[in-house]
A = this chain, B = another copy of it.
């Protein structure tokens, strides 16, 4: 879990956290995670892979509300009943047992809350992207968010990371068609803002990217002294 990234935790706390992780399981691309997790009320933590929370309309349109990354906590009791929780890649996730007891500790409780706050703030960002940013700005904005979140769990450095999903999926997050995602990506490269494919993004000009996306007003750069909990 990446609670460590949301507050200074003692080694004890970190150890206890690790002990909460129980009964890991795998599920394949496209599978309904909620269903796969229906034998326990959760919460759950993602150990590997990406999970998408969204809704699909009868005519095939799909909108992903959020993307959940390794380290993120899934709580089936949260979110609308009809929200679909889907494995965007092969996913490994596990139960978090006895967390409620742990969370009586001050530090952990704060980190837990900070994590939820961050989740909610990301939702607000999603609304901004979809409501008022162009495809270009929108994509830049999402890239920055993902970089930040991936770095938090040690899956990105300041410039490089990998998006293990198709352009279709990216489109479902961004509210764009596949074709538009493709063209936007090309534009980002043409303008030397990034290079590489989805699976090996390299940020060439973070500064300008942030400016284009109107990013950073609320996003402080990731503090470098934080030490994320290793996952597996």
Please report A residues at the B interface, Cβ cutoff 8 Å.
55, 57-58, 61-63, 65, 78-83, 117, 120-121, 123-128, 130-132, 174-175, 214, 217-218
A217 with B55: CB separation less than 8 A? yes
A78 with B117: CB separation less than 8 A? yes
A80 to B217, CA, bound (A): 10
Q: Could you list 20 further interchain pairs (A-B, Cβ under 8 angstroms) beyond the known A63-B127, A65-B128, A131-B175?
A: A55-B124, A55-B128, A55-B217, A57-B132, A57-B214, A62-B132, A63-B132, A65-B127, A78-B117, A79-B121, A79-B124, A80-B121, A80-B124, A82-B217, A83-B124, A83-B218, A120-B120, A120-B123, A123-B127, A130-B131
Q: CB-CB < 8 A to A175: which residues of B?
A: 130-132
A115 to B120, CA, bound (A): 15
